[in-house]
Structures are given as C-alpha cells and as structure tokens.
Amino acid sequence: MSDQQELKQTKHVSTQSFIESSFFTKLSQLKLDKFKLDSTQIAIHGFITNPLKLNKFNDVPTINLDQQSFEDDTEFSIPGELLNVNTIEEFKSVDKLDLLNKWGHEIQESIKTSELFDYRLFNKFYMLSFSDLKKYKFYYWVAYPTLASTWSVVSEETPNPEVINLIESQLQSDFNLFFQLDSGKLHKRFDLKKDHTFVFVDTCLRKDRKSSNQVRNYLYYLASRGVKDINLITYRGDGSSTYQHLKIESFSETPKVTGWERTTQGKLGPKLADLGSLINPLQLADQAVELNLKLMKWRIAPELDLDIIKQQKVLLLGAGTLGSYVARALMGWGVRKITFVDNGRISYSNPVRQPLFNFEDCFSDDGQGELKAIKAAENLKKVFPGVDATGFNLEVPMIGHPVTDEPKQKSNYDTLNKLFDEHDVIFLLMDSRESRWLPTLLGAAKDKIIINAALGFDSYLVMRHGSIKQQDRLGCYYCNDVVAPNDSLSDRTLDQMCTVTRPGGALMASSLAVELLVSILQHPSKNLAPHDDSQSKFGNVPHQIRGFLHNFQQTKLFAPSYVHCSACSNIVIEEYNSQGWSFVKKCLDSTQYLEDICGLTKVQTEAELASKKLLEELSLEDGVEDDDFDEEWLD
C-alpha cells in the first residue's frame, strides 16, 4: 500500500474477559477464610486459548477466569492481580484513571528490563472488585493496561506460506505471542541489531482483520529500545494472516495508558455478576450466617475457633421458653445439629414467650396443641433450612415418680440413653427439679458437657456440671442438696403449674447458657477447665452464674462436687454403670433407696445426732434440766 495508514487505537480490538461463576464462588470462599478484610492486591491468572485451536466464535481476544485462577500458573495462562476492596463506596470512589496509570507504569517498568518476550509479561491484566457476600453480588472491572505508541502502516501483503508453516510448527511445542524471525527461525530472545522482522500471534479472528490490542505493549517495547521501523507478521489461524511494514510516528517515555474493559454495550464501566438468583437460596443463607460469625472473628476475636462450635451435636431437654431461646442462640453461633426432647403440647399461653411457636400451633387435628418437641424442630428449620433439627416427644423418667408403666418408661429411658450417646452437649431446660436428675446422672456417667439453666420468678441460674475427669471436680445441680429430689408436681395450684417468671429472665438465662458453652469450647481444656481459669479465648469459664432481676445483679459462684451427691457422686455413677435401668427403676420408686446408696441417709442421721448433742450441751451450760427444757419448748 502506497498510502500510509495510521494505526490508531480504534484499529485494535480490545481484550475481553469471560469470568465463570466458579471464579466468584472461589473468591467468596477465600474472602471468608483467607483474605478477610485484607485488600492487598493478590496474584491471580487467566487463560487464553491456544491460537491453533481458535475457531470462528473467537472473534475477540478473550481471557478466561475460573476457580483455577487462584491456583498455580499453567500453560497458556496470563498473569493478573486482583484488588478486592471491602465496601461498595470504596469501589465507586477509587480514581480509576490513577489506578490504571499506576498499573500501566508497573508494566512499563517490567518490560524496560526484559530481554525475553514472554507473553505473560506483556499481557498482564488487573481486576478491581467488591464482593457483596450477603447478596452474592460481585462488582468488578477488568483492565488490560496498554502503553501508547503511534505506528503507521507503510505496506501490507500476504505472508509467505513457508513462514506460516514455521509459525504453526513452533506453536506446537513452544507457545508464545511474539517472536523475532531471523535466518528462518523464531526466537523469543531478541537481538535488535539483526533483522527487525517480528511475528505476533493474534488470539482473535476478526473478519475485518483488526489486530487485537495485545500487540500494543510489544510495539511500545520496540519503540523504547530505539526501533523505528519493523516488519510485522500477524498470524491468525483462519488464514487471514498479514505481513506489514510499520514505521514509528510518536513515542513518549510517559505514555498514555488505556485498557479498561468496555461493557457489552461498548461503554466504559464496571460489570455486575449477580449470582444470587442462580444459587440455591439455602447455600446463600448458609454463607450469610457464616459471614456474620467470620466478621466477628476478623475484627474482634482472631483466634476464635468457629469449626469446633459448628461441629457440636446438641441435645435440648425442654422445648419451651428456655429451649426456644437456646436453640436460636445456638443457631446464631453456627451449630447445625439440634435435637429437642419434650412431652408437652403447645398451649395458647406459649407463643408469646416461646419464639419457636405461633398461634396456629396451639391446635391440631386432634383438638389439642401441637407436640412441642416435634413442632420446635419443624419451625427451627423454617428459620434456617440448613439446620439438622429433630424432635422427640418423650417423657423423661423422673425421680420421686414411681414406675407405673414399665414398658413405656423403660422405652423412654432407652431412647434418652441413646440420645445422650449421639450428642456432645446436653442442655437441661426442663420446668421441674426432679426431671433433671436422670439427665444429670447420664451426663456424669457418659462425661458429656452438661449446661443447666433454671428460672425463678425474678432470678435465674446458669451452670455447667463438673466432669468426672476433673482434678478438682465442679459440682452439679444437686451437689448442694442434703436430700434426694422428690415429687414436686403433684397437687399443685394453678400458679405452681405455670412457669411464673419475669419474661426477660428466660432470654438472659438462655443467652448466658449458650455463651457459657462457647467459652467452654474455646478453652484448651474444654469441659475440664477450672472455674477460676481465664485461658479461654473468651475469658473466664465460670461454674455458676446467678442473676437477680429485682436489683439487676449477677454473681459468679463456685461449688465443688459433693461426695454424697444424689446425682453425680462416684457411688451413684458406679451403681448406674453396673445395673443400668434396674438401678434407675429402684431410684424412681424410692428416693430413700437413692439416699441410702449415696450416703445422704447417714449424713441426715449424723446431722440429727449432732443437733441433738448441741442442744444438750446448750441446756447443760444454762443449768437447765432436760425435762424443764422440753417443757419450755412444749409450752
């Protein structure tokens, strides 16, 4: 061609990105587990198609990104860097021109010192992004910084077929995008004192024969080394290759940098990948729940072990007010296995205090309220379908309540025993004292983590039971008793049959019970942690927490295990381990039997004798005869 044609920017085809959803899935995972709030640029890479395998659908140069973009480089990969900011405001406010110039000058500095024309160096890309992990939306803008130098086409013709064959042969074994052709050979290392004939391997097939902008950085490099005219063979696999003679027209040491990717409408602007509508809502919910926890870990508690909390299998004995609030708090901490045990039905007074129940749960097809344990599990799944919640309509055998239907009560015992074996943590949340005895014994015998929460009218108690493996063993719920628990449910008045408490007490006790569990799990000794030790990542792990709403006070207390405890003493555990249900049945039928076994009977006898002796000593000191003393009291 005799007329010179200036190679303007519009003559080049811009590189495009194709980003698979797996890239953003991997990014969200790394953001949660590794990057956190770190917005430092990280290395990634994209992939280009081998030019020998291009087809008519590859009409623009394309860099592909997927989950492998975060792994090690492979053949046909293009290096890149990702700048993932933490807020949408930061994404919007960053000066895009300054950022592009910064990236362009990084490439300029790199290629100034390069002797090997590695296509990875000259085609580096960058990505600015913001990840909205709650909605699973990803805002991003990809840039391919290109350095401007103006060249003119002096002439153009079809290249020699022998050169084309040479290029294709070279690409079979040594993939690159730019070579020097000298003495019938292709070289990746250049000698600019020799023939200035170069080969550019184009990665797109445009019918109008426009070159891709991937060639611009190569041309800038040559211009920076003083090269003023070259022969450029542009190879395309569809047979439209060209042989051009180019001359430099303008060059600057501080070149203009372009390269922000355009939208499908041809406009400059970022793109949005909204994957929320494409992903299972359950997966989105699960990630959103984890995000809340991991944000807490990033900012406040870097050493917090979330996995150990998530792995716990938790059994809730009681699906009422305490059970409902405990379940919700456990779910908030990431616990995914929750089992309810209760034998009650939902009444009209329940929903206002028990957040897992609604008004429609107060009646069922049989004219009664729904079963509490079953409905609690169902409604917990409605809150978060990812939870593995199960309910058992089961009456826990209670001490002081003799066995009247042994097959049924034995079956309840067997089920409860099996549930203890299948769970790691047990919460005692029942509304009677005697119903906690058997679970306390099972927890001690099986060495489970037992958390006890109990309510008074305006007071509450939250405690953890000691482990049989503790050196200085902590007490259980019954360790301060001098008698075995007995029947407290028969012949009750209306106010005794209902749980009459200030509503806020249940929320406070439930929250403290769950937080106590979390502190136990974060302690290096777990349930063996001493009550006065603060090695937990969450501070102290107390034994008992007693709260009083009438004066808004809270106290931490400690009580050692009692050698004669009716529920956790060694002799009771030994008798249970050797006899099983037979021992439990005897205890249910007679609290006196249990008191004899654990030694409380002897303690009571000795206490009576000591009291009598004290009275005798007092009467003798006052000079009062026994008969006179008795008569005085009788009067």
pLDDT at 629: 46
pLDDT at 4: 43
Q: What is the mean pLDDT of residues 322-334?
A: 96
Listing DSSP states for 12-47 in one string gives EEPPEEEE-HHHHHHHHHHIIIIITT----EEEEEE
d(CA 330, CA 380): 11
pLDDT at 516: 95
Of 55-64, 88-97, 447-456, 621-630, the least confident? 621-630
**Segment 6-64, tens digit of pLDDT:** 444 335 677 888 898 889 989 988 988 888 888 889 999 998 876 666 666 666 778 88
Give the pLDDT band of residue 449 (cuts 50, 70, 90): very high
Which residues are 474's β-sheet partners?
560
Domain 304-585, CATH homologous superfamily name and number: NAD(P)-binding Rossmann-like Domain (3.40.50.720)
Torsion of the alpha carbons at 18, 24, 25 and 27, rounded to the nearest 10: 130
Q: Where in the sequence of the chain do the CATH 3.40.140.70 domains occur? A: 8-147+259-274
348 exposed, middle or buried (CB, 10 Å; 0-12, 13-18, 19+)? exposed
At 243, list the tokens: 């042989």
Of 98-107, 153-162, 166-175, the least confident? 166-175
Give the pLDDT band of residue 633 (cuts 50, 70, 90): very low
Decide: 569 and 601 in contact? Cβ < 8 Å: no
- Whats the size of the chain, residue-wise? 635
Q: What is the mean pLDDT of residues 369-383?
A: 95
Q: Where in the sequence of the chain do the CATH 3.40.50.720 domains occur? A: 304-585
Beta pairing, strands 42-47 & 16-19 = unpaired
- Show Cβ contacts of residue 469 under 8 Å, excluding neighbours closer than 6 positions: 447, 528
Strand (E) or helix (H) holding 200: strand 197-201
d(CA 2, CA 153): 9
Give the helix, strand, coil percentages of the chain, each rounded to 5. 40, 25, 40
Which residues are 449's β-sheet partners?
425
Whole-structure pTM value: 0.71
Phi-psi region of 239 (alpha: psi -120 to 50; beta: other; left: phi over 0): left
Q: Where in the sequence of the chain do the CATH 3.40.140.100 domains occur? A: 150-255
Give the count of alpha carbons within 13 A of 154, CB side only: 10
d(CA 374, CA 364): 13
Q: What is the mean pLDDT of residues 216-236?
A: 90
At 552, list the tokens: 């808004």
pLDDT at 626: 52
Q: At CA 203, angle to CA 202 and CA 204, rounded to 5?
A: 95
Question: Considering only the top CATH level, what class is 8-147+259-274?
Answer: alpha beta
3-state secondary structure 446-470: HCCEEEEEEECCCEEEEEECCCCCC
Is residue 97 over pLDDT 80? yes
Active-site annotation, residues:
498
d(CA 596, CA 484): 10
Beta pairing, strands 185-187 & 459-464 = unpaired
Read off the amino acid at residue 151: W
**Segment 130-167, tens digit of pLDDT:** 999 888 899 999 999 999 999 999 999 999 999 999 98
Strand (E) or helix (H) holding 379: helix 372-383
Buried b (16+ CB within 10 A) or exposed e, 367-381: eebbbbbbbbbbbbe
At 312, list the tokens: 């716990």
Tally of helices (H runs) and strands (E runs) in the chain? 19, 25
Instruction: Provide the CATH topology of domain 150-255.
Output: Cytidine Deaminase; domain 2 (3.40.140)
